[in-house]
Amino acid sequence: MEEKASPFLSTPIAVLIGALIIAGAILVSGGVIKVGNNLSVGGKGSGSTPQVAGTAEVAKTEVDIVAKLKQYAGKLGLDTSKFNSCLDSGQKASLVSTDLDEGSSAGVNGTPAFFINDRLLSGALPFEQFKKVIEEELSGAAAANTTRQTVGVGNLPVLGKTDAKVTIVEFSDYQCPFCARFYSQTEGQLRKDYIDSGKVKFYYRDFPLTSIHPGAQKAAEAARCAGDQDKYWQYHDLIFNNQSDIF
């Protein structure tokens, strides 16, 4: 007697099952399903870039990050003995905390955040949006009822001429991908068109989001240690230019 074939092995059902298995494999390995959440603070702020399944890298420890920060100090030509001692001692931690507290009091809840003549502009926005606000401030065309929040410039060296008509204060996080985006896509144009020409002076203040960027605190301290050797802005640029390697 001929054995009766199982319905589960019939051609239509087998094809369907096979198709489902292949589709599932494509979804998982092809980058559609992502591991983890895209964390952010305040909607436009700093966040972790989502990782595609199977491609996530092992996060660096603080020890690894500090080692990288010291390595780049050497590449910049700093006195590494003085730099390492400064960073290891934590002597700049309280200054970073002061920036964080004052930024929070001024309404900063994510990075990057900017105050252009005390007008808050949040997020890694394109150059044109900065240009609009700057031009209003230069020409005096800003509306009389424009909201302004008084914020200090901090204690880091200014970029540009101190008598410039427009002041920009950035609150930022060295490990933040959105902050790196502003640096790579917008800050250079601001320097060229406004800072170098003496129209704008630019200040950087630390706002490390340590809950999602564990290396940001030590990076902020490291930049300040470099500042002790008159290399603050050079080290600031170096961190953002090498963010993926350091963190």
Tens digit of each residue's pLDDT (9 = 90 or more) over 128-178: 999 999 999 999 999 999 999 999 999 999 999 999 999 999 999 999 999
Range of the domain at 99: 62-246
Give one word for 154, left, alpha or beta, with left for phi > 0 and alpha for psi -120 to 50.
Answer: left
Within this chain, do residues 86 and 205 fall inside the same structural domain, yes or no?
yes
**Tens-digit pLDDT profile for residues 36-95:** 333 333 333 333 333 333 445 677 999 999 999 999 999 999 999 999 999 999 999 999
Within this chain, do residues 23 and 82 fall inside the same structural domain, yes or no?
no
- 177 in any annotated domain: yes
- Going through 75-224 in order, the beta strands assigned E by DSSP cover 113-116, 119-122, 166-172, 200-206
Within this chain, do residues 18 and 120 fall inside the same structural domain, yes or no?
no
- 57 in any annotated domain: no
- Global pTM reads 0.78
**What average pLDDT does the chain have?**
84
Within this chain, do residues 105 and 205 fall inside the same structural domain, yes or no?
yes
Q: Average pLDDT in the 88-117 region?
A: 98
First to last CA, the chain: 70
Within this chain, do residues 129 and 41 fall inside the same structural domain, yes or no?
no
Q: Average pLDDT in the 13-34 region?
A: 36
- 1 in any annotated domain: no
**Cα(87)–Cα(77) distance, integer angstroms:** 16
Q: Average pLDDT in the 236-243 region?
A: 98
Within this chain, do residues 82 and 141 fall inside the same structural domain, yes or no?
yes
Within this chain, do residues 75 and 48 fall inside the same structural domain, yes or no?
no
- Going through 100-237 in order, the beta strands assigned E by DSSP cover 113-116, 119-122, 166-172, 200-206
Whether residue 7 has a cis bond before it, omega within 30° of 0 = no
Cβ-contact 150, 212 below 8 angstroms:
no
**Cα(224)–Cα(95) distance, integer angstroms:** 9
Q: What is the pLDDT of residue 59?
A: 76
Q: Is the pLDDT of residue 35 over 50?
A: no
Q: Domain total for the chain?
A: 2
Within this chain, do residues 31 and 102 fall inside the same structural domain, yes or no?
no
